[in-house]
Chain A
Amino acid sequence: MSSTDARPALTLDALRLTFHPGTPDERVALDGLNLRMNEGDFAVVIGSNGAGKSTMLNAISGALQPDSGRVLFGAQDVTDLPVHRRAGFIGRVFQDPMLGTAPALSIEENLALAQRRGLRRGFRLALGRGNRQRFADLLAPFGLGLETRMGVLAGKLSGGQRQVLALLMAAMQKPRLLLLDEHTAALDPGTAELVMQATRRIVDEGGLTTLMITHNMQHALDTGNRLLALNAGQVRLDLDAQAKAGLTIEALVQRFGASDDQLLRA
């Protein structure tokens, strides 16, 4: 499945993360979670509500600190780095379309902001250097018509338009890992499909190593080359492209004897 001597793009080593430790509300969200992502992997992550999927992504991004365990990009241990210092490695899109873009900034300003992810910010005009044209060219292939409205505030865009913008922002300055947390869940089915198409396109064209959480079983089956299932803070199932190719929704449901949300109770 993976070449033995190549370093994985991402390694999660025995991650443990507890909310409200030592109180009656104590909740172990990650329970010694291990994961290796190889360069170019596009892994879809499924699991019931509360399985620890979002917490895993938050531990990777640095938004949450694990109690123990390590997060490595290649050979570099980033476990103790704050969010802004590992931002150069990571692009991220959230479920809430409000979170992935800055509503009070224009489309082109959002892209300019993202273009410096992980880089020093100096006193050069953010929209100089032919950036305007470059950004418009970046948006044009998605057929949203945004390339002619680059000065419009991101806050004025529809949810789907914002998610595509957020995807582009996350993919700029090629991150070593793209994190997608149910980024189509807040959209109507048609728009979700459009955003999924944009996702596949961006991941393919950039050759991005990607972790995508979804509750949509169809998307889980026909996207990516790897399927991960989480339960109770651990990876319980890890299927490669071949094993995944043979799966049907019926088989998934049958195998785990559950509807979407109950998927991994078996």
Chain B
Amino acid sequence: MADPVLSFTERGIYCPAADIYIDPWRPVPRALITHAHSDHARPGHGSYLATPLTAAMIRHRLGVEVQELAFGTPLQIGGATVSFHPAGHVPGSAQVRVEVGGEVWLVSGDYKLEPDGLSEPFEPVSCHAFITECTFGLPVFRWQPQAEVATEINGWWRANREAGRASLLGAYSLGKAQRLISMLDPEIGPILTHGAVEGSNAVLRAAGAFACETIPVTPDFDRKAHPAPMVVAPPSAFGTSWARKFGPAQTGFASGWMRLRGVRRRRGVQRGFVISDHADWPALLRAIKETGAERVFPTHGYVDIFAQYLRIEGYEATPVPTEFGGDEDNSEQTGDAA
């Protein structure tokens, strides 16, 4: 039997036919990157290949050279044909399709099915084997439609504003932050951003992928000019002197983990909004089914439980361990991810 199209190594997912790694976590000569989150785009590789928007984000974050490959364009690398397909996770995020001798494997990266209005909507891709994330691969994870969460967040903001308080909304600076900003009703008041968020905003704006108006919080920020604002920031900025600039404030946090009361309590935020850039339980199952794959490799998350369920559903499922937690995993405490 021939080599598998992709294999799982200490450095990450490897394609022997193309001699290339996908989202490797240790330095490698050549890397294909699904999206610019720090658990997928690591520093130190010899070369990088990504979609144009992801490439722009990686240059911004890591300051490295990145080659670009547009969505849907096949590229021959050695004995393999690779192409990127929208994953709907954050703007520019891709699934990677790898074909070797007629056998197709698909690496999901991170993904969600619900269109968020900013990211290129998820595209189902047929394959023989599917390496899928399952960050929220338990039946207790089920998301409300985005519009309902938008109503909740705007209601919270409005109530805070009426009480003369700022609304500090914590979110991952790439993707989640822009999605939240696009959900806010600009009629309610000014939307301020932390430097980390504004950096991502600028890259996406330059690429025409984000158009909302925001006010960056600068060192000479004058609180009186923007009373009771909405402030979008990475959660690591809370509890610092930076967050005290805005006077009395309520903190909120937006993540799929906010579904669990225990996690809400641990994070100590006053308001948790359940919104994720990852697929929920029903969406994971639907996505897997739509690929038509017989072999499934769950990665990132409750992989053992998820694989066991898939086996009962008739798939040949093998869990894949990862070195990193996901961007929406518990690495939230370190600040650069949530």
Do the two shown chains form a genuine complex with each other?
A: no
Residues of B within 8 A of A (CB): none
Residues of A within 8 A of B (CB): none
